[in-house]
Chain A
Amino acid sequence: MNPSPLGGPADGLAAASALRAIADRLEDVEVERAMRAGWSWSQVAEALGVTRQAVHKKHLRRLLLAQIELRRRFGE
């Protein structure tokens, strides 16, 4: 069986992949926005429904590059 790249499950799977990529980029933007607004790691994690450690690991590097003040919130 050689499924077509267009139509049927191919469309649905491509959409799932595209939406995952958009969701990932949206998370980057919104975590950055929340931290600029003074949210804590714990608050961001709770809003996303993941652990604080997961948010920290995924976003710390970019937040530092964005020069967002994080020091006061490291211990939370």
Chain B
Amino acid sequence: MAMLVSWEVTSGVARQFEIEAKRDGAKFIEAEHMLLALAADSDGDAAKLLGESGLDYGRLASALKEEHRRTLACAGMNAPNRELVTATELDSSLTFGTSAKTAIRRALLASRQDRPRRPRLRSTDLLAGILQAELGTVARALAIAEVDRAGLISRTGRSE
């Protein structure tokens, strides 16, 4: 996506967004896929912050899986077998879904406040942008994992 901003989020992490979305069988890259990608980049600042809160990739993935299970249980359903809902994959790149766009927009606003002339999107800005959603899949998964979302946001240097 074209933006007048320098991305400090590496291209490897950006590629991982799509890998996580496809692994999930999703049609769009959503905030939870970006969060997993940030956690997977173990050398990145965002992953270090997450790790300090005990949130490594595996724990995040488990929390998201549990969120999905509980959500479907609310409607009296179990998650379907993957084979039953896996069609031929399109050859085009996935685009960002609403939750991902919202997280990026929040991250950009924060980075512009710091450096209005030459904003840089750091991985911790993106992490904060993802965590700032009070509702939705990520907020639900973090609540299930009993993670202090507000505390984690403040550790990124941002506020709720």
Of the four ranges (under 10, 10 to 19, 20 to 34, 35 or more), the interface on chain B belongs to: 20 to 34
Chain B residues with Cβ below 8 Å from A28 are 85, 87
* Interface size in chain A (residues, C-beta < 8 A): 26
Within 8 A of A (CB), among B79-133: 80, 84-91
Contact partner of A29 among B67, B87, B91, CB < 8 A?
B87
Separation in Å of the B132 CB from the closest CB of chain A? Answer: 12
B14 at the interface (CB under 8 A from A): no
Q: A5-B143, A62-B90 are in contact. Are A19 and B75 (CB under 8 A)?
A: yes
Contact between chains at B88 and A14 (CB < 8 Å): no
Chain A residues with Cβ below 8 Å from B25 are 25
B134 at the interface (CB under 8 A from A): yes
Chain A residues with Cβ below 8 Å from B26 are 21
Write the chain B residue with the least CB distance to A67.
B88
Write the chain A residue with the least CB distance to B136.
A5
Q: A5-B134, A6-B140 are in contact. Are A62 and B75 (CB under 8 A)?
A: no
CA distance A12 to B140 in the complex (A): 12
Contact partner of B72 among A6, A18, A66, CB < 8 A?
A18
Contact between chains at B139 and A5 (CB < 8 Å): yes
CA distance A21 to B80 in the complex (A): 12
Contact between chains at A26 and B84 (CB < 8 Å): yes
Which of B25, B87, B91, B139 is most buried by chain A, counting CB atoms within 10 A of its CB? B87
Write the chain A residue with the least CB distance to B137.
A14
Residues of A bordering B, CB below 8 Å: 2-6, 10-12, 14-16, 18-19, 21-22, 24-26, 28-29, 32, 61-63, 65-66
Q: A2-B134, A5-B142, A65-B89 are in contact. List 12 more A-B contacts (CB 8 A).
A: A3-B135, A5-B135, A5-B143, A6-B140, A12-B74, A14-B74, A19-B75, A25-B27, A28-B85, A65-B91, A66-B87, A66-B88
For this complex, 27 residue pairs linking A to B, each with C-beta atoms less than 8 Å apart, are: A2-B134, A3-B135, A10-B135, A10-B140, A12-B74, A14-B71, A14-B136, A14-B137, A15-B72, A15-B74, A15-B75, A19-B72, A19-B75, A19-B77, A21-B26, A22-B85, A24-B27, A25-B25, A28-B85, A29-B85, A29-B86, A29-B87, A61-B90, A63-B88, A65-B88, A65-B89, A65-B91
